Amino acid sequence: MTLRTLLEEIRRDGVRDERVLEALARVPRERFVPSSHRGLAHGNHPLPIACEQTISQPTIVAMMTELAELQPGDRVLEVGTGSGYQTAVLAEMLGLGAAQDETVEDAGSELVSLEILPELASGAGTLLKELGYRGLDLRLADGHRGCPERAPFDAIVVTAAPARLPMALADQLAERGRLVIPVGVEHQELLVITKIDGATRERRVIPVRFVPMTGES
C-alpha cells in the first residue's frame, strides 16, 4: 500500500480533518517501525515494536488526533510515547515539526509526552530529535499520574488502555479540554472525556484494542 492509498483509506474510515491527514502525510511511519517491518509501514494496521508494544493502526492515530481537536497554542499531554509515531503526528498538528515555519510554534504550543519503559523513551527521543522535532518535553514517567506540574492541558491523548479511567488525567484537563483514551481490559472502548463548567462529560466512540497501560493501577 502506498501513502496516498493509505490516506484515502483513512478518509473512507471517517476521518475528515484535512489538517490531520496532512500531518500523517508528513510523518515517515517507516522510521518508527523495526527495519524488518518497514515494507509494511504504509499498511493500515498496527505493527510490533520493542518491549512487546505496538505502533497503532494509522486510522486509529488519525481518529484520536481528530478527536483531540488540537489548535495552535494548545498545551497537550500524550501518555505513552511508544515508538514516537503518535507524538510526531501531534507535534505536526501543533507546528513543532522541522519542515514547518515557526508561526504556529510562536503561538505557544506545548507537547509533553510520558513513557514508562526506558528503552522506548530513549529510542523515541533519539528518533524524534533526528527527524527535527523541536520543543517537545519527553519524560520517563508513569502515565497514570499525568503531569500535574504542567497542567492544565487543552488535550490529553492516551495510547495504551488502563482498566479504568485514571482520574488524575481527567483532573488535569483545562476547561473545555479533551481527554482521548481507550479504557477496558477484555472489552475496550475509545472514550472522549470533556471538561465543561468544571465537570467531566463522557462520550463513547468505538470499540478498540490497545496494549494494556502499565504502571500504577
DSSP 96-119: -STTS-STTGGGT-EEEEEES-HH
Cα atoms in the 13 Å half-sphere on the side-chain side of 15: 26
Residue with cell 508513569: 142
Enter the pTM of the model.
Answer: 0.94
pLDDT digits (tens, 9 = 90+) for 1-25: 899 999 999 999 999 999 999 999 9
pLDDT at residue 32 in the model: 96
Looking at per-residue pLDDT, the higher value among 52 and 150 belongs to 150
- Phi and psi at residue 147, to the nearest 5°: -140, 75
pLDDT at residue 159 in the model: 97
Q: Grid coordinates in use for 120?
A: 522506548
DSSP conformation class of 212: B
pLDDT averaged over every residue in the chain: 94
Please identify every residue annotated as catalytic.
56
Tell me the one-letter amino acid at 134: R
Q: Are 81 and 114 in contact (CB under 8 A)?
A: yes
pLDDT at residue 108 in the model: 86
pLDDT at residue 99 in the model: 61
Bridge partners, residue 207, by sequence: 189
Query: Per this entry, what is the length of the chain?
Result: 217
Name the percent of the chain lying above pLDDT 90. 88
Prior bond of 28 cis (ω within 30°): no
pLDDT at residue 106 in the model: 53
Other Cβ atoms closer than 10 A to 107: 13
Q: Are 120 and 81 in contact (CB under 8 A)?
A: yes
User: Cα–Cα distance between 181 and 132 in angstroms, integer?
Assistant: 27
pLDDT digits (tens, 9 = 90+) for 73-123: 999 999 999 999 999 999 999 999 876 555 454 568 999 999 999 999 999
